[in-house]
């Protein structure tokens, strides 16, 4: 549900910078926090950056800054204060008491956005799991702090209901969710195996949130995936088949966007949704070239890819949104870098060519005839090759397949 302007929450943001050398990073992070807050449906009224080497253990920020924030809360009649740093349960309590309004941190904000966006059953459960694990250590003696001040950001439970309040209920719920997730995971694994019966190369779109992955996905598959200027528009990974002019088919998958300072509890859930990507033959890394800090965001994406063990999958970098630039910067052209506008379609055919080249680089198209008594060879090929056509003929099983170059010798005797 979209908040209307009357009911829109009014937020104040607070960032902390402990080290002058990190000043521009923290400022950038605050700008991003501002976008996140608007994505969650609230309006940003004022932004504070505390620069201080020593943090106050009770309030994070110093007394002077705290009073400034308090004044701003009153001046703007703010409904919430969002900290760009993670707060301890104690700090959270102290700050709420002092400021007399709801206080949340970056993690809680991102969790809230994920809660709003999750669509599939699995996505919803993953987010609920992350949210409950985040809340558990933050329970006060009597119950959940969240039953605290009003509704809005940070108080939304998964689904339509408010979160249940006591520790025991949460534990029971957590173990149910885990069980259910395991079941769904097994089902997905089965579906994936079924797809692997006829292996088609898979290409996975990854990138920082808002880079244009879904827009590009729609363009390439002629599908209507949800595109939005809000961050984290896509949470549930989507897989669709599409084909090149040559007839070569690929499976393309759209994935959840990345972000820096992702809440720890979400990391696990988030990695699970990237499982499809783990199977990819090629990664299409979409980068918003119009973003002033796109190099840092690009780096953040590579860090996550490495964390989940994807550093060996070949990558094509797709510098998107070139329509927003006056001229394309002079980056040295290379095989694995393309410039596109998913909005105008510019550069997209070049991108397709590039994908096709890379996918076929290590494969050769061959026609094979396998004798009927060599079912073992057919099953080996199912694992290794991309089979396009399979026909039973008088002289044996006829296959039209793309074979890894390295395997050509081994199957030479069957080549027509
Ligand atoms: N100007 C311009 N805008 C674009 C282009 N591609 C995408 N956009 C816009 O950028 C915003 C984000 O696009 P999405 O396709 O939702 O981005 P995403 O990477 O899927 O984002 P998440 O799902 O949130 O991670 C939308 O407002 C798009 O219309 C482009 O080539 N040029
Ligand atoms: Mg998307």
Buried b (16+ CB within 10 A) or exposed e, 258-284: bbbbebebbeebbbbbbbbbeebbbbb
pLDDT at 237: 62
**Of all atoms in ligand 1, which is nearest to the CA of residue 210?**
21
Dihedral, CA atoms, 12, 208, 196, 124, nearest 10 degrees? 0
142 alpha carbon – ligand 2 mean position (Å): 40
**Of all atoms in ligand 1, which is nearest to the CA of residue 232?**
24
- Residues of the chain with pLDDT > 90, as a percent, come to 35
At residue 408, the 3 state secondary structure works out as coil
* C-beta 91 within 6 A of ligand 1: no
**How many C-beta neighbours within 10 Å does residue 416 have?**
9
Q: Which of 118, 205, 211, 212 to mutate to test the pocket of ligand 1 (most atoms within 8 A of CB)?
A: 212
Superfamily (CATH) of domain 200-360: P-loop containing nucleotide triphosphate hydrolases (3.40.50.300)
pLDDT at 235: 57
Residue closest by Cα to atom 13 of ligand 1: 212
Closest CA to 116 of 89, 154, 84: 154
Give the number of the ligand closest to the Cα of residue 230.
1
* C-beta 215 within 6 A of ligand 1: yes
Residues contacting residue 52 through CB under 8 Å, at least 6 positions apart: 16, 17, 18, 61, 62, 65
In terms of DSSP bridges, do strands 396-404 and 363-370 run parallel, antiparallel, or are they unpaired? Answer: antiparallel
DSSP string covering 209-247: TTSSHHHHHHHHHT------SSTT---S-EEEEEE-TTS
User: pLDDT grade, residue 345 (50/70/90)?
Assistant: very high
Q: How far apart are CA 52 and CA 16, in angstroms?
A: 7
**CATH class for the region spanning 10-112:** alpha beta
**28-32, 172-176, 332-336: segment of lowest average pLDDT:** 332-336
Let me know: does 62 contact 51? Beta carbons within 8 Å.
Answer: no
For all residues of the chain together, what is the average pLDDT? Answer: 83
Residue closest by Cα to atom 6 of ligand 1: 212
Closest CA to 38 of 256, 264, 229, 236: 229
pLDDT at 146: 47
pLDDT for 133-171, tens place per residue? 888 877 764 344 444 445 677 766 554 344 445 778 888
Angle (CA) 194 125 303, round 5°: 75
Helix axes 348-361, 213-221, angle to 10 degrees: 80
* C-beta 347 within 6 A of ligand 1: no
Domain ranges, ordered by start, for the chain:
10-112, 116-184, 200-360, 363-414
* C-beta 342 within 6 A of ligand 1: yes
Q: Which of 342, 345, 346, 348 to mutate to test the pocket of ligand 1 (most atoms within 8 A of CB)?
A: 342
189 alpha carbon – ligand 1 mean position (Å): 30
User: pLDDT grade, residue 238 (50/70/90)?
Assistant: confident
pLDDT at 116: 81
Residue closest by Cα to atom 27 of ligand 1: 229
**Of all atoms in ligand 1, which is nearest to the CA of residue 229?**
27
Q: Which of 116, 214, 286 to mutate to test the pocket of ligand 1 (most atoms within 8 A of CB)?
A: 214
- What token pair was written down for 53? 């080497």
224 alpha carbon – ligand 1 mean position (Å): 13
353 alpha carbon – ligand 1 mean position (Å): 22
217 alpha carbon – ligand 2 mean position (Å): 9
Q: How far apart are CA 211 and CA 208, in angstroms?
A: 6
Residue closest by Cα to atom 10 of ligand 1: 212
10 Å CB burial of residue 43 (0-12, 13-18, 19+) is middle
Q: Which of 35, 209, 215 to mutate to test the pocket of ligand 1 (most atoms within 8 A of CB)?
A: 215
* 115 backbone φψ class: left, alpha, beta (φ>0; ψ -120 to 50): alpha
pTM of structure: 0.79
**55-69, 286-300, 323-337, 376-390: segment of lowest average pLDDT:** 323-337
pLDDT for 269-316, tens place per residue? 666 667 667 778 899 999 999 998 899 899 989 988 888 788 888 899
- In a 13 Å sphere around the CA of 373, the CA atoms on its Cβ side amount to 0
10 Å CB burial of residue 339 (0-12, 13-18, 19+) is buried
Residues contacting residue 72 through CB under 8 Å, at least 6 positions apart: 12, 45, 46, 48, 78
pLDDT at 197: 54
* C-beta 213 within 6 A of ligand 1: yes
337 alpha carbon – ligand 2 mean position (Å): 21
Intrachain domains 10-112 and 200-360 with the same fold = yes
* C-beta 237 within 6 A of ligand 1: no
Q: How far apart are CA 374 and CA 396, in angstroms?
A: 9
Let me know: does 79 contact 100? Beta carbons within 8 Å.
Answer: no
Dihedral (CA of 265, 270, 272, 275) sign: negative
- What token pair was written down for 121? 């059953």
Closest CA to 40 of 85, 80, 87: 80
């Amino acid at each position: 549900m979209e908040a209307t302007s009357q009911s829109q929450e009014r937020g104040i943001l607070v960032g902390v910078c402990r080290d002058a050398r990190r000043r521009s990073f923290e400022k950038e992070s605050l700008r991003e926090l501002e976008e996140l807050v608007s994505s969650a449906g609230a309006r940003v009224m004022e932004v504070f950056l505390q620069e201080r080497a020593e943090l106050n253990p009770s309030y994070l920020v110093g007394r002077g800054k705290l009073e400034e924030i308090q004044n701003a809360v009153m001046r703007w009649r703010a409904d919430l204060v969002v900290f760009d740093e993670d707060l301890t349960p104690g700090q959270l309590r102290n700050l709420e008491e002092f400021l007399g309004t709801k206080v949340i941190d970056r993690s809680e904000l991102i969790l809230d956005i994920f809660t709003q966006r999750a669509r599939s059953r699995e996505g919803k459960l993953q987010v609920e799991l992350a949210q409950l694990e985040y809340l558990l250590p933050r329970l006060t003696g009597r119950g959940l702090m969240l039953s605290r001040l009003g509704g809005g950001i940070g108080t939304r439970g998964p689904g339509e209901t408010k979160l249940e309040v006591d520790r025991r209920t949460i534990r029971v719920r957590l173990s149910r969710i885990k069980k259910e997730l395991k079941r769904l995971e097994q089902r997905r694994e089965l579906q994936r195996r079924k797809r692997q019966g006829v292996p088609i190369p898979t290409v996975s779109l990854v990138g920082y949130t808002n880079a244009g992955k879904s827009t590009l996905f729609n363009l390439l598959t002629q599908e209507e995936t949800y595109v939005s200027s809000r961050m984290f528009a896509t949470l549930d990974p989507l897989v669709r088949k599409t084909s090149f002019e040559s007839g070569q088919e690929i499976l393309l998958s759209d994935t959840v966007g990345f972000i820096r300072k992702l809440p720890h509890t979400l990391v696990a859930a988030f990695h699970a949704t990237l499982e499809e990507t783990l199977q990819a033959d090629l990664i299409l890394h979409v980068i918003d070239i119009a973003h002033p800090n796109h190099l840092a965001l690009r780096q953040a994406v590579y860090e996550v890819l490495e964390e989940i063990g994807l550093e060996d999958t070949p990558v094509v970098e797709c510098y998107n949104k070139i329509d927003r630039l006056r001229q394309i910067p002079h980056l040295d052209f290379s095989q694995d870098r393309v410039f596109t506008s998913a909005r105008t379609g510019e550069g997209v055919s070049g991108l397709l060519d590039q994908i096709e080249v890379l996918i076929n680089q290590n494969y050769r198209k061959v026609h094979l005839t396998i004798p009927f008594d060599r079912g073992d060879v057919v099953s080996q090929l199912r694992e290794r090759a991309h089979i396009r056509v399979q026909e039973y003929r008088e002289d044996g099983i006829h296959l039209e397949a793309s074979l890894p170059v390295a395997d050509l010798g081994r199957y030479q005797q069957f080549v027509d």
